[in-house]
Structures are given as C-alpha cells and as structure tokens.
Structure 1
Amino acid sequence: MSIRVLVADDQSMVRAGFRLLLAREPDIDVIAEARTGIEAVQQAARFNPTVVLMDIRMPDLDGLEATRRILAADAAARILILTTFDLDEYVYEALQAGASGFVLKDDPPEQLIAALRTVAAGDALLSPAVTKRVIRQFARLPRPAPPAAIDELTARELDIFRLIADGLSNAEISERLYIGDTTVKTHVTHILQKLGLRDRVQAVVLAYRTGIFESSA
C-alpha cells in the first residue's frame, strides 16, 4: 500500500522538488499539493493523505494553524513539519498542536524519505537536535505536576520513557538497553497507553512540560 503524501509549501520550486524526489520511491505517491495553509486544510479533507508534509511558514494560514485544523477534523492525520533551526517557538507550538515529527529543509533527501516512512507507519519523529531545543523552550515555562499515571510505569518503562524523551529511536533504545527491537516497541506501546498519549512526540512534550526526569538527571 503506497504512502499518499500531500506537499504543502508556498514555493512552487520547493513543491516541484519534493514531487520529483518522491516520484523515485515506489511506495510513495504525491497525491496533491497546496501553496497556502487554507489549501492544505482543504486538500487534506479532500484527498485523505497518509502524511501531510507541511511547511511552517505559508500565506493566508501558517502551517501551525493548518496543522491544528487538519487534526481537529481528523485526529488520525499525520503531519510532518518542514522547519529550520531558527523557528524554535514554532517547533514547540507544533508539538502542542499534535504534529508527528519534523524534518529540516536542508536535511539529506534520504532523511526526508525515511521520515515520511516512519510517520506513515504510525510512529513519530523527533531528532535529538530538535529535542534539545524543545527542552530549552519548556524550561522557560511554568510546569504542571506529572500525571498520576506515571506511577503505573514499571522501572523498565521509565528507563525507556527517559530515552524517548532524549530523542532516541527504537533501534537506539534497543542498542542502549541490550533488548530486542520488538521488546522496545511493546514497552513503548504500553507507555503510551498508560499515559493516554498519541505517539512518542507527545511523550517528549509530557516529559519536558512536567520535568519528570529532571530530579534524577
């Protein structure tokens, strides 16, 4: 089953570049384009893409608000944000809005393709570099108490939750803890279920919004 992608970017050359790049992948199909945030919301509703590749800065409606509206209409939608390192406040707000991950505009093509596949598979993508910036943003905000459900996590689940918060992938967690990838996936699923979270990006948000691991850091 192909990954259906909606490319939302206000620059026609950028959209054309993404379409050309993704056309080489047999499992990825660019089904629609949008040049404004409003068009992105409309096209997402019309075509029901697997992943929306969303530029954060667009006319009429920015990518942040477009993300909110798409997810309000379809909570299962997957949004992969196109960003740059000088947009920390947008990264933070997009996390809060429910984005599934971020890719940098100057990332190598193979990283973008891998990111699309990761998000399409139902996982979330947050690189360690972006995670560090998110940590700094959350450190400046008032912090609520951690949810009571934290106490339901086992010691192993807490270990894995900490590594998720550090931005590690399942494969990296597997290597760090000397356990199988399937075991990691099972633990991650249990963590998200116990905490009532949508994906690992929301887990990162929770960890740094509440400062869960700071006392033991």
Structure 2
Amino acid sequence: MQIGIIEDDSILRENIETFFSIYPDIEVNISASSIESFLTQSLQVNQEPYIVFIDVGLPGISGIEGISKVRERFQNTHIVMISGTCNEESIWEAVKAGANGYLLKPLSLKRLVEQIDIIKNNGALISPEVASMLFSKINQKPPERKVKAEELLSRRELDVMDYLLKGMSYKEIADKLYISYTTVNDHVKKIYHKLGINSKGELLALFIN
C-alpha cells in the first residue's frame, strides 16, 4: 500500500516515515512539507497513494485548500486530515471539501496502522473528539433535509445512511444489520444515486449547516 504525507513538522513527518518503514506492506511514496511540494513530487510516482495524510495548518496552500488539488492529481486517493486543534470550522470545511477522515495530534502511530483497515473497509478515520462534535452537528440537521431523505430512501437505506453518518465501516454496518458486505455496498450506491451525491464526504455535508 502506498501512502502520502504532507506535514510541515519535519520531526513528525520523519517519525511517521520511520514507523511505516517497519511494515513491509506499507510504503511512503510521497513525503512533503507543503501542498506545492507534494504536487511536484506526485509527478515522479507511478502509483497513486491509497491514503494521503494532510496537516491542516500548512505554509502556502492550506491543508483544506489542498484537498481539491490532491484530488485533481489522484482521484481515488483517500484523504485524512491531521490537526493539532479540534477546530469546528476546520472540521466542517474539511468534510465539505471531501476529506475521508480527521485525526488530532498527537497521533498514536501504532493505532494509526490499525485504523488504516477502517479506511480499507469504507469507514471514516475520525478522532473521538472530532466524532463527538461532528455527530452533534449532524443531529441538528435541518428538518427539511431529513424529510427529503425520508421521502427518497427506503427504511433500510435510512438505517444504512444513519450508520454511515456515524462513521461506521461497511463491515460494521453489515454486522449491525445482519446483512452482507455486498448488500451494504448496494444500499450505499442507491443512497448516493437517490440523493444526487458521489461520496461519504458529500453525504456528511448534506447534513451540516
């Protein structure tokens, strides 16, 4: 698995690189201190990173602004933001920009490797503090948006959507609803089609003021 890192703290970036180097199935193929440097390096790689970790507070182009630029270069890459503060505005902007996760520093590198499996199973990589803030905001979703979803989606699709909004992976949803992983995937495709969206980030954005 290829991984990209965009972090201006050189010590943290080197620590992440060193830690991942002990795992034979993980390779950091792009390591940069800025979005600009990442984009330059991206021209030299042959394989798209599966995940790119982006620091929110970067010099030059900010991490949140950089989400769309990374997406332009690598359309299928999963993007996880990392930040030293649980800033509500930054979290909403990152989600609306299409981030697949949001983690707070200090990072537990050992746990981070374990959590990569969450992304691989279509879950959202979110720190507990961020999840609490995010779900509180979602629970305040405008009534008209909730009504629209209830009108368009079946009962089972609504159940799947609610679990997606809680950051659960497809496997976790399958276990919760006693259905197969494939069935969950089919439900998600129908949810996205009916709501006119293409990603989990867009789904979250629908329910954030």
The two structures have a TM-score, normalised by structure 2, of 0.80
User: In the alignment, which residue of structure 1 is the partner of 2:54?
Assistant: 54
User: In the alignment, which residue of structure 2 is the partner of 1:209?
Assistant: 208
**Contact kept? 1:8, 1:40, Cα under 8 Å:** yes
Q: CA deviation at 1:14?
A: 0.7
Q: 1:37 aligns with which of 29, 35, 39?
A: 35
Q: CA deviation at 1:67?
A: 1.2
User: In the alignment, which residue of structure 2 is the partner of 1:87?
Assistant: 87
Distance 1:140 1:156 in 2: 22
Distance 2:173 2:139 in 1: 25
Aligned length: 205
**Contact kept? 2:54, 2:81, Cα under 8 Å:** yes
Distance 2:100 2:177 in 1: 25
User: In the alignment, which residue of structure 2 is the partner of 1:214?
Assistant: none
**Contact kept? 2:121, 2:170, Cα under 8 Å:** no
Deviates more, 1:54-63 or 1:121-130: 121-130
Q: Counterpart of 1:16 in structure 2: which amino acid?
A: E
User: In the alignment, which residue of structure 2 is the partner of 1:97?
Assistant: 97
User: In the alignment, which residue of structure 2 is the partner of 1:5?
Assistant: 3
**Contact kept? 1:56, 1:64, Cα under 8 Å:** yes
Partner-residue secondary structure (3-state), 1:209: coil
The two structures have a TM-score, normalised by structure 1, of 0.78
**Contact kept? 1:124, 1:199, Cα under 8 Å:** no
Partner-residue secondary structure (3-state), 2:90: helix
Q: Counterpart of 1:14 in structure 2: which amino acid?
A: L
Distance 1:92 1:179 in 2: 31
Distance 2:121 2:168 in 1: 16
Distance 1:72 1:122 in 2: 23
User: In the alignment, which residue of structure 1 is the partner of 2:13?
Assistant: 15
Q: CA deviation at 1:122?
A: 7.7
Change (3 A) 1:102 1:185: same
Q: CA deviation at 1:124?
A: 4.5
Change (3 A) 1:50 1:177: closer
User: In the alignment, which residue of structure 2 is the partner of 1:152?
Assistant: 152
**Contact kept? 2:30, 2:38, Cα under 8 Å:** no
What is the identity percentage for the equivalent residue pairs of Structure 1 and Structure 2?
A: 26
Q: Counterpart of 1:40 in structure 2: which amino acid?
A: F
User: In the alignment, which residue of structure 1 is the partner of 2:122?
Assistant: 123
Distance 1:65 1:114 in 2: 28
Distance 2:75 2:148 in 1: 25
**Contact kept? 1:5, 1:29, Cα under 8 Å:** yes
Distance 1:78 1:176 in 2: 25
**Contact kept? 1:40, 1:66, Cα under 8 Å:** no
Q: CA deviation at 1:205?
A: 2.3
Q: CA deviation at 1:171?
A: 3.3
Which consecutive segments of 4 or more residues in structure 1 shift more than 6 A? 138-141
User: In the alignment, which residue of structure 2 is the partner of 1:65?
Assistant: 65
Unaligned runs of 5+ in 1: 211-217
**Contact kept? 1:103, 1:115, Cα under 8 Å:** no
Unaligned runs of 5+ in 2: none
Change (3 A) 1:136 1:67: same
